[in-house]
Structure 1
Amino acid sequence: MDVHRKLGLIVKLIAPPNASFYITNSITDELTGFLQSHSRTIPRLESLIFGIKSKLGVPAQHETIWKTFEDILFPLVSMNDPNEMILHLDQGHQHLQTILHTTKSVPLGTTSMSLNPENLENHSNNSRDHLMSPSVYAESFETLDKFSDRRSLMSSVHNYGPSEIIDNTTLKDLIIPYYSNTVPEKDILKSIPYTLLGITSEMFPVANDIIIIPFNIPNAISGQLHLLFEGGLIYRNISSRIEYYKHVNISPLKQALVLEVEKYMNIYSGLVNQLATSGHIGSLSALYTNLYDPIIQLRTYYFIMHKFQILRGDEILSLLNALKTHGDKSIQNICSKFYHNLIHLYFKYLKDWLLLGKLDDTYKDEFFIKRDETSTGFNFIIPFIFDKPRIPKFLPENTTYKIYMIGKTYIFITDFCKELQWANDFTKKYSYRYESLDCFSASFSNQLIDLVNEQYLEIVKYSYFILKSKFYYEEILYMLKDVLLMGRCDFMDVIFLKSESILNQQVKRLRNYAFTRILQESIEESSLRSVLRKNDNNFLVEKIDARLLNMGQDLLGWDVFTLDYVIHPPLSTVLNVNRIDGRKEYLQIFNFLWRFKRIDFFNNKSMLDTKKLIRSFKKNTQFSPFNKDITSKLSKLSLLRSEIQQFNYKIENYYLQFVIEKNFKSLLNDLQLNKNTYKTAGTIDSTNFVNGNIRFEGILKPKNDLLMFGITDNDHIADDYPNIENLNELHNKFLNDILGHKLFSSTEEGKHSKQPYSRSLIFIFEEILQFIDHYSSLCEIAYNIFLQINLQNNSEVNTSIELFNTRSHETIHIFKRFKRATYMYITDLRDDGDNELAQLSRMLR
């Protein structure tokens, strides 16, 4: 636009010689923008002129020129036509030139030595004499001296005389216009203490964690402010976090950490206040020197508080432990200080659990032991679990597990075993030793590990001793095997004999109390009478119970009868016979073995009935040919019954010897029951046999020979005794190994039958029971024939003989079905690929 050009010419006339082209151009742009706006007012123009005057720094002798410049601008406010503005500016430009030519002062036009494009162009033209007729070697490094006089506009005047130098302006005078509106450093020092504490001020407002630096602060000072204000932003952020965590529920470790961070925030704020009031800080550089180290430390605090929300207390403790060896000494010192404060509190957690089995709910989220309110089974009685993800990095997992077991075993001994005196002495003994540990020393972890190992061995050893001596742990294991796993065959035989009449009835007619007397008599008349009237006051046999399964009202007693062994705490914590979660491994095994015993009982009963019946027929010689035919058929069918009985004996023996007995021996070996836990002086290892004999492993030496060497009752301490969790796990493993055997499993299928071995065997049992039912019925028919013969009731005899022959064919047909089922079963065993099952298949052929 022509208005812009005309204004530019006028501004160049009034500008002093030292005004740069960029300043004059910016003034021209401002005036043009003002004239183009729709809100042109005299006050606004006056403010604009005042700013232009500040930028140009017009001296006092130029007031006449400046007054003319103002007279040119003020009429433009009321003009709207651009042509009218151009005409007015032309007149003003001519008038201003006239004044400048008539004045005696130094011209202010483009003839000045100011830095502007026109003078630079003229300077370039005047310098051409240095570049005339360059030689062919002009670009060679040998001719570079020809270019040495090509200089900048201001420095090239050294070739001119004193009369040709227009102005003696210094570099300081040149930069004065740029710093005329900047904020003095002394004013910044007055406001900066507030900003260093994250407090907003008029000069440095703080909004949304952003500190606003005014535009009229030089870049050099702004760079220093950026470094200093980092401390203010970090302090503001950390302070807000601390204030927030004071009003929320956090763990004790985090509470301790917040208190330590707050202490440093108070130290930092105190340092800032001291620097602000001391009067010794005269520059930003001096202030930054004093705050350099505190700001570096604030960065570390900020890092820790940033991790505060995403890490648990134990994870923060592990992080601090790792940062203790950081390469930066400042980080080392801060993290070491934090670690020492937090480890003292964490050590209190450990002592409460190790000495009292105490677990406070306030630190359950940052300790590797926690209460499990929803647990069942083993943890239902002592509801604490070992939480591996919360193990601190400075403790080995093996040690933390021992810590967990020490407290859990302590609860077991005090709450369930009621060994309060021993527990009290145990706590006193180790309380003193733990108090003597220095949790701030470098060897603390190693000392703690050694002490935990010693404490673990002692409490596990004693808990094992209490279970064996006070609660008959080993004896009850044998009772479980003898009663629920059919280890006492004679006991089961007596039960069958005494309860046959009851078990033949339907379930709806039976009552549980009917078996109480039968159990008592069976114990008295079987080998279990050896455990009666012992030192345990019949503690072992009183746990045996009989009950009926709730399986339906139309079944017989044989189908629902079962034995049980009732165990209460503390033994129920390590022997899961009556577990709460409903898993009944013993019941499952007993019901399976019950089928073998039931078949044995009826087979033996049928064998005795057959022998008695055959003898009766042989005594009656009156109908010798006829009797011989009956006895011959009975004898042949008895051979079939005997073959079935032999199959049942073999498969039953395999289950009892190679499945149950084998796993039971493995359990005894894992439980270290061949060791004596608390050996007294002069005792040696021994083996107790079922018949009551004892075999000593070595020679029993006199007691006095050992006492002279100072050996006492508790000198022998083994380091491999199972703890209460191990006892529970080993017993579970024992049951799972039995039920996991291919012959018990419901998932292992035969290669040919495509049925699990246990299901195939149950089908064989059904065939055997049908055979026994038909065989027993056949014996009853034969006995009826014998009676009718003696009574000489021929018509009834003929009818019975016909029924006898029919039932004989049915019995043989059932036997054939049995043979086909056993053949398939044996074939599955043979082709299974298991050597033991292959041997069993050869036994069953």
Structure 2
Amino acid sequence: MELGNSLSLLLETYLPPEFPDTVIQLFAKDVLFLLSSPYKNKQQLSKLIENFQSKIPVTLRHRNTLPKLLSSLEPLFSMSNEQEMLNYVNELQMEYSDNPNDQFILNRLNISPYDGNLNMGRPGSQYSESFENLDRYSERSMLSSQAYNNIGKSPNRLPLRSLLEPYMKNMIDEQEIMKSIPFVLLGTTSELFDIEYDKIIIPSNIPNSESGILHLIFEAGLLYKELGNLCDKYRRMPISPMKKAFIIAVGSELNTYNGLINQLASNDKISTNNGVYVSIYDSINKLRVFYSIMLKFEGLTGDQLLSLLEQLRHHGDLTIENIADKLFSTLLTLYYDYLSQWLTLGSIDNTNNELFIEVEQENTDGEVIFKLNTDKIPSFLTYMQARQIFVIGKSYIFVQKYCKELEYSNEFSNRYKQIYDGLRKNGISIEFIEAVNTQFKEIVSYIDTIICTKFHYHDVLKTLRNILLMGRGDLINTLITKLSSALTSSSDLLSDYSLTRILQESVQQSSLRSLINRGDNNYIINKLDARLLDLGHGAIGWDVFTLDFIVDRPLSFVLNVNRTNGRKEYLRIFNFLWKLKKNQFYFEKESKRTKEILRTFRKFPEFSPVMGDITKHISKCSILLTQLQIFHTKLDNYYLQYVINERYLDLENELSVIFDKEKTDNIKVKINKHGEKRVNGVLKPDINILNEGRKHLGNQNLRDIEQLDNTHNQFLGRILAHKLLSTNSGNNLGERSNKPYPATVIVILNSIAEFLVKYNELNEISYKIYMQLSLEHHPEISVHLQSLVHTIKLLSKQYSHCKEQISTLCDDLRADGDEELMRLSRHLR
């Protein structure tokens, strides 16, 4: 290694500085290889020098140097010891350094006394330093910077031109390069530049100064070629109209770029690479923007692409903003058509799933359920604006298809189609948003009016509360009275016809008879129906009987009443209250019967001590009945008043803000004894004045069909979310019972029902005793007395069981921590 370093330094010392470092290093390596060969001879050295001479420019100075080098190296081939060779090479270096006239200006021996101990650096470039090799270690530059002290000793008498000519004679002229540039900029192979695998090959005989600017220029050619390939690829694919419009816009920009390059090729004024770069600089930036978008193109839908362009419109770079604005306007035209089609026809056909309105479900009967996909709302629309657009189209379908308001819907559609066609050139402008807002107010207000006047929304809601939520108890009481005998029999013996007939009679005898023969042609009351649940064989009428209220379209869209494949909130609430009404009926029935039995016992002319003892025990049992009846009544009132009625009042308050109330009658006045006129009754506010005030409230008082449905669902949800009705047992477990409150209540109601069954047996036995005592001979009286005693014991035991369960419920309510439930606990005790 040391011999090789010394030999390299000797060669650089002997040879002139214009010799390339790479050639010197290669020559030193070949000489060292010959010296290490056991068959080395001087003829091999001569051939090596001849070969070396053929690779370098030959000048007079070189001819004098190479023979001298040959004579200096020949003695090495007669030596066999490497150390001997090293000493000889070092002596040659010392001899050469002692003769300053033979020194060149760059001599590695003057750089550092320790340089002989270092490996040679990597070969330097044969060209001048440029942006491409600034990071490389240049031995030539280091030599020139560290040999400054020898400049005055031996000046270089060669001109710079003589040093450059041997290297520049093979370089390609800039004018030749200019002839090939237009071809490369259009992505095609030229005479000088080949394109291989999307890479442009720059020949090695182009100076680095030109190579640097060509790198910048040829970026446009690569972008143009890649964009053209991508456009061809997506043109052959089934893509949406919005994405097709984007591809067309990119293709148009590529055609513009093509025309620019053709103009440059025929423009004699642009004769330098720098001139070309300046001319296409803006085009390069445009192509970069298009390419960056095309990289994401395949994974984007049309609406996402539109949102991306909207973001780029506010990028901050004017070039990017201008490009994005132009593309955005192109795509927005199609998106505007999507919106206009939905706003005026309620249709999303041909939108290619690029609108924020989607089909959620399509039923077999042709009903299509739409949904608002918030993830697809574009960035240039707010959620409230998108929701208004969604509601307008859905409301139009509601009015036209389900309300059958064809005349209004056609006029409404044509009128707003003209409005949106006139605003089309402005895109999503302030005027467009104002038109949407006006359209939203109009159709929502119209729906509010039509469902109240034509489809009796408020009356239906009140009827649901009065019947299914038992707001009017007289109908249920009448119905139970008429059905009591049938309900105790097997469900197999009940018929729908008999139930319907009894239901009609009950309605006629209750306060709901006002709904019969009204101006609505019995539209509301005819929706009421009695039916039997399918609970299997062996169930009795009490278990399977229920009332239903059939709500047809269009009201079924805003009133969820036991929807098919939906939650049966009304059914759940009715069935729970039905258990309370059943027990209440038997409480009243058995209590009334006990009073009659006691009254008949006291009418006996011979009121014996035995009869007195019987009446005493029956009276005590009636007290137990009364105690449970009081508890049951309190519980029933709590459910009706504090669970259902309070939430219904909240619902009415919410709806009262939505709908206009009825106009007040003419104001009535009266004259007092002093002759002064006073208002007779309460002076109601002027509706016209209130309506004027509402005009300034915007949309806050308007409730669309979505909100009406949600308001009603929230009403039902708040009822079923109460802790005494909620089926979510995770948060409503009693501390003592470790059961959900509704489950505990059901257990208590069932226990009370069993108590009532036993109490009914008590009344039956008491009546039999009365009948026996009425006879002249009563041989079975002892048997009945024994049965009476046994029944009283069972009744007392069942009463104790009921009281224990009631106590458990009260303890659970008291320990809940809810102030309302704590008050209920004290009330129930």
Q: For the superposition of Structure 1 and Structure 2, which TM-score range results when normalised by the shorter chain?
A: 0.7 to 0.9
Q: 1:574 to 1:21 in 2, by over 3 A?
A: closer
Match of 1:392 in 2: 378
Q: 1:458 to 1:222 in 2, by over 3 A?
A: same
Q: 1:380 to 1:813 in 2, by over 3 A?
A: farther
1:327 equivalent in alignment to 2:327: no
CA positional deviation for 1:199: 2.7
CA positional deviation for 1:668: 1.1
Match of 1:100 in 2: none
Q: 1:530 to 1:29 in 2, by over 3 A?
A: same
Find the residue that maps to 2:307 and give its secondary structure: helix
1:130-209 mapped onto 2 (5 Å cutoff):
169-201=158-190, 203-209=192-198
1:593-742 mapped onto 2 (5 Å cutoff):
593-622=577-606, 624-672=608-656, 675-676=659-660, 698=684, 719-742=700-723
1:476 equivalent in alignment to 2:460: yes
Whole-angstrom CA distance in 2 between matches of 1:661 and 1:570: 26
1:83-98 mapped onto 2 (5 Å cutoff):
none
Q: Deviations over 1:66-122 (max 9, x none)?
A: 9x99x99xxxxxxxxx97999xxxxxxxxxxxxxxxxxxxxxx9977866639989x
Match of 1:411 in 2: 397
Q: 1:755 to 1:716 in 2, by over 3 A?
A: closer
Alignment check: 8 A CA contact 1:546 1:561 kept: yes
Alignment check: 8 A CA contact 2:12 2:108 kept: no
Q: 1:699 to 1:342 in 2, by over 3 A?
A: closer
Amino acid at match of 1:233: L
Match of 1:337 in 2: 326
CA positional deviation for 1:589: 0.5
Alignment check: 8 A CA contact 1:507 1:552 kept: no
Amino acid at match of 1:185: E
Q: Of residues 820, 824, 829 in structure 2, which corresponds to 1:840?
A: 824
Q: 1:290 to 1:627 in 2, by over 3 A?
A: same
Alignment check: 8 A CA contact 1:382 1:412 kept: no
Match of 2:283 in 1: 294
Match of 2:514 in 1: 530
CA positional deviation for 1:423: 1.3
Whole-angstrom CA distance in 2 between matches of 1:643 and 1:385: 54
Match of 1:367 in 2: 355
Q: 1:29 to 1:181 in 2, by over 3 A?
A: farther
1:573 equivalent in alignment to 2:557: yes
CA positional deviation for 1:671: 1.6
Find the residue that maps to 1:671 and give its secondary structure: helix
Match of 2:724 in 1: 743
Whole-angstrom CA distance in 1 between matches of 2:462 and 2:784: 51
1:195-594 mapped onto 2 (5 Å cutoff):
195-201=184-190, 203-364=192-353, 366-373=354-361, 382-437=368-423, 439-440=425-426, 445-594=429-578
Q: 1:31 to 1:476 in 2, by over 3 A?
A: same
Q: 1:264 to 1:169 in 2, by over 3 A?
A: same
1:117 equivalent in alignment to 2:142: no
Amino acid at match of 1:367: L
Amino acid at match of 2:292: F
Q: Deviations over 1:734-779 (max 9, x none)?
A: 1111111122123223333322221111111112111111111111
Q: Deviations over 1:256-281 (max 9, x none)?
A: 22211111111112222332344544
CA positional deviation for 1:182: 2.4
CA positional deviation for 1:55: 3.3
- Segments of 5+ residues of structure 2 without an aligned counterpart are 38-45, 81-98, 112-146, 669-679
Alignment check: 8 A CA contact 1:402 1:456 kept: yes
| Higher alpha-carbon deviation: 186-195 or 460-469 | 186-195
Q: Deviations over 1:554-573 (max 9, x none)?
A: 22111111111111221111
CA positional deviation for 1:657: 1.0
Alignment check: 8 A CA contact 1:668 1:674 kept: no
CA positional deviation for 1:173: 1.6
Q: 1:650 to 1:12 in 2, by over 3 A?
A: closer
Amino acid at match of 2:372: F
Q: Deviations over 1:317-339 (max 9, x none)?
A: 23323333443222222122112
Q: Of residues 775, 784, 800 in structure 2, which corresponds to 1:791?
A: 775
Find the residue that maps to 1:665 and give its secondary structure: helix
Alignment check: 8 A CA contact 2:658 2:701 kept: no
Q: Deviations over 1:186-209 (max 9, x none)?
A: 332233323222334453333333
Percent of aligned positions that are identical:
37
Q: 1:508 to 1:49 in 2, by over 3 A?
A: farther
CA positional deviation for 1:361: 4.8
Alignment check: 8 A CA contact 1:20 1:114 kept: no
Amino acid at match of 1:470: K
Alignment check: 8 A CA contact 1:7 1:28 kept: no
1:97-116 mapped onto 2 (5 Å cutoff):
none
Whole-angstrom CA distance in 2 between matches of 1:731 and 1:380: 25
Alignment check: 8 A CA contact 1:320 1:339 kept: yes
Amino acid at match of 2:57: L
- Segments of 5+ residues of structure 1 without an aligned counterpart are 38-44, 73-81, 87-108, 122-149, 159-166, 687-693
Match of 1:25 in 2: 24
Amino acid at match of 1:503: L
CA positional deviation for 1:543: 1.1
CA positional deviation for 1:417: 1.0
Q: What TM-score do you get using the length of structure 1 for normalisation? A: 0.79
CA positional deviation for 1:313: 2.9
- Aligned residue pairs: how many? 747
Alignment check: 8 A CA contact 1:196 1:229 kept: yes
Q: 1:85 to 1:521 in 2, by over 3 A?
A: farther
Alignment check: 8 A CA contact 1:830 1:841 kept: yes
Whole-angstrom CA distance in 1 between matches of 2:233 and 2:467: 64
Alignment check: 8 A CA contact 2:13 2:103 kept: no
Q: What TM-score do you get using the length of structure 2 for normalisation? A: 0.80
Amino acid at match of 2:448: Y
| Higher alpha-carbon deviation: 781-790 or 770-779 | 781-790
Whole-angstrom CA distance in 2 between matches of 1:674 and 1:63: 109
Find the residue that maps to 1:372 and give its secondary structure: strand
Whole-angstrom CA distance in 2 between matches of 1:335 and 1:820: 77
CA positional deviation for 1:168: 5.9
Alignment check: 8 A CA contact 1:575 1:728 kept: yes
1:772 equivalent in alignment to 2:726: no
Whole-angstrom CA distance in 2 between matches of 1:547 and 1:594: 14
| Higher alpha-carbon deviation: 391-400 or 410-419 | 391-400
| Higher alpha-carbon deviation: 616-625 or 110-119 | 110-119
Find the residue that maps to 1:597 and give its secondary structure: helix
